[in-house]
Structure 1
């Protein structure tokens, strides 16, 4: 067969080829599920102004009480400072061993902290420990100034980030610390409006974002006691009494909670006692927020109620495992390949929060790319579509991937396949037309 004939055959194959289109395939598994777990939650009779409990992986709300009421969060606002510091570390803007100078303003601010002198230099790592363990206002401001030049500029960045990560429109930051205006304005007047406020839901959103994006934060927040400098005679003590790492500390035993490793306390006269807690058990991480408790012990006692309710009644279940064939969609059609279709599987897993003992099933839908888009050759594991898994109002998307390599077909195979497709379509059309004449 000469080159001229090959060229001709190739052109004929192009003319005769037909598009192998794949319609979006859907497998629906009907289930009777509650719309939200929070709506079904019993009254926990929490002695706080607002509260929320969520699961970290999915963001599913398990319990809420006045969760959308704006309140002053006090030092829980430092979670945003922690987030932005760790974002700067990850981007390479700063490093853990960079030296941070304490300004006169940072050293003079009141509230928790008071460990730094004006012009004292410590590393970002040391400042972060003072902020996340001891809730140091001085260290927090020093980090804010180091990152953005001034605390006001940093607070603007906090507000910008709040919108970006999905906190409510009402969430507002005027300081890096959560201190109210009257405690800072005389030292460092700000042109930012209002006070620092957020909802319990905002605090949970922020906490979830930190944990998912920068889980390293928990290596800091779980430290019960630590000297800021080697020469120090006393240790910084973590304000979070529920830390599992406090196990063995006599006066903390009534509060210690297994699996709890963060996240941030807060208190001012205006805010009351607040706490964003997080604990993990059996692979499920919960995030709780309480705001406006009347006493310091009460914020931990009410947090225990929330976490106990979550861990006792719910579990994290794998609704779709990785590398699993999908019912109703075992293969996808491809073009230019040795084969006309290849087997496919899930390219990841989908986990959801579920009531313990529940037999409810998820709803699974699959959307595939067209055969024209899936031209061989391509590798095993190549994305060929999207799987959408829905359970109790929560949706996750997982890639649909090729379970084997798609090898490119030879021109001879493709030519005769195109001829066969052409005549198949032709006779199908003729048969349809004849049937129409006699119907």
Structure 2
């Protein structure tokens, strides 16, 4: 009996050892199998990763190639044959091309754009009507150059004379309008120069309403001194911007291809703007016709050479071009085509921020005595930039300026300005950093809290300040 028990005790450790060895063997086999499975599963995964990486590398090449194709050509590559040239987008005012654009030069009949603006503005404000009758004076009747041969005492409506000025660049019609509006051409010239300052035209000076040299004006009505009319291409573009922005109906005059001023006239006057899109069907002008072009004004004198301020619309985007000092009438349109093509082919208007946008870090403002002292804030308008086509516009920088803490008190209506935000973007291919500042406004009303709520808030603030004061003692 004792021997049997002793034998059983001896066998028990052996069984435990054997069991442990079997478990260890099983775990080892399982580990090896698991390791093999993992290794074999990683092989195709790694192969796929390498394939995807190779595909990714291959896909980056076309992207880089595409970026290269969207790069902006140099202005020098256009080979412009002019003294100066400018291209702008009128809504943003962005300058897309500038070749000697700040030099003051004689603008010839592009001067009439200011006369057109002032007359149209006075009609718009109700001070004159298009069907008001103008009696032609001596100054207009003796004016030379491009004209419709008005005689002193002739009577025509403002609209008739305006069309003659816009379409046929008639100097006598222009002077007649200037004298009717201001009483004399010299008084009108003062209005022109005042407007130039208001518009921010830095070089412009007007000596008359037409753009004629002072020596070519009737002697009795010549401007004193020898300060001739001058205007840079940039100033001409600014003036055109005001025309298309403040008077978007300008095309009712500038797109007229020909106009018979009097019934007895044997031939109608023909628009000096050969680039009008409608001229694509006119034999003599179809080589110059430009898609979307609907204005604006030509100019020519011996001193000025051939000038043209043009404007065209494509896909909802309007551009304004100015060329000055071209050698021939046709050349000014050929050069304008180069400038406009440069803009439409390489740039696009892109909305950077939609209206009513919340700015990160300036989501709310504190309004004293309001029911809800934290009022949400949004931008008051959209922000758009003219950028190179295909450029990434996600890296926009913002600079916020909010009203000082504690300066806002209820009640405030929704839409109240409480600050500004400036968006800036440096586009590749452009020298200038694009910037636009918009207002930050309240997104809802800030109603004034009742007296009881204000009392409870004041008591709470008192005890909060008291507690903080005590806490700071320790």
TM class by smaller structure: 0.7 to 0.9
Give the C-alpha shift of residue 185 in structure 1: 4.3
In structure 2, which of residues 271, 278, 281 is the aligned counterpart of residue 248 of structure 1? 281
In structure 2, which of residues 176, 179, 196 is the aligned counterpart of residue 142 of structure 1? 176
Aligned to 1:346: 379
In structure 2, which of residues 387, 408, 412 is the aligned counterpart of residue 374 of structure 1? 408
Deviations 1:156-200 (A, max 9, x none): 2222222222112x4221110001122114352321432111111
SS state of the match for residue 267, structure 1? strand
Distance 1:214 1:426, change over 3 A: farther
Does 2:202 align with 1:162?
A: no
Aligned to 2:446: 406
- 298-307 or 47-56: which moved more? 47-56
Cα RMSD over matched residues? 2.2
Give the C-alpha shift of residue 242 in structure 1: 0.8
Q: Larger Rg: 1 or 2? A: 2
Q: Which runs of 5+ in 1 are unaligned?
A: 1-36, 435-439
Does 2:368 align with 1:335?
A: yes
- Mapping of residues 37-436 of structure 1, within 5 Å: 41-168=75-202, 170-186=203-219, 188-229=221-262, 232-360=265-393, 361-370=395-404, 372-392=406-426, 393-434=433-474
- Is the 8 Å Cα contact of residues 366 and 406 (structure 2) preserved in structure 1? no
SS state of the match for residue 281, structure 2? coil
- Is the 8 Å Cα contact of residues 88 and 319 (structure 2) preserved in structure 1? yes
- Is the 8 Å Cα contact of residues 379 and 438 (structure 2) preserved in structure 1? yes
Distance 1:365 1:429, change over 3 A: farther
- 378-387 or 131-140: which moved more? 378-387
Greater relative contact order structure (CA < 8 Å, 6+ sep): 1
- 138-147 or 339-348: which moved more? 339-348
SS state of the match for residue 248, structure 2? coil
Distance 1:329 1:104, change over 3 A: same
- 262-271 or 104-113: which moved more? 104-113
- Is the 8 Å Cα contact of residues 378 and 442 (structure 2) preserved in structure 1? yes
- Is the 8 Å Cα contact of residues 283 and 316 (structure 1) preserved in structure 2? no
- Is the 8 Å Cα contact of residues 273 and 298 (structure 2) preserved in structure 1? yes
Give the C-alpha shift of residue 432 in structure 1: 4.3
- 74-83 or 235-244: which moved more? 235-244
Matches of 1:370 and 1:415 in 2, distance apart?
Answer: 24
Give the C-alpha shift of residue 90 in structure 1: 3.2
Distance 1:414 1:229, change over 3 A: farther
SS state of the match for residue 284, structure 2? helix
- Is the 8 Å Cα contact of residues 334 and 370 (structure 1) preserved in structure 2? no
Distance 1:287 1:240, change over 3 A: same
Give the C-alpha shift of residue 205 in structure 1: 1.5
SS state of the match for residue 273, structure 1? strand
Give the C-alpha shift of residue 347 in structure 1: 1.2
Deviations 1:368-392 (A, max 9, x none): 2346443333333232322222334
SS state of the match for residue 203, structure 1? helix
Q: Which runs of 5+ in 2 are unaligned?
A: 1-70, 427-432
Give the C-alpha shift of residue 275 in structure 1: 0.2
User: TM-score, normalised to structure 2's length?
Assistant: 0.79
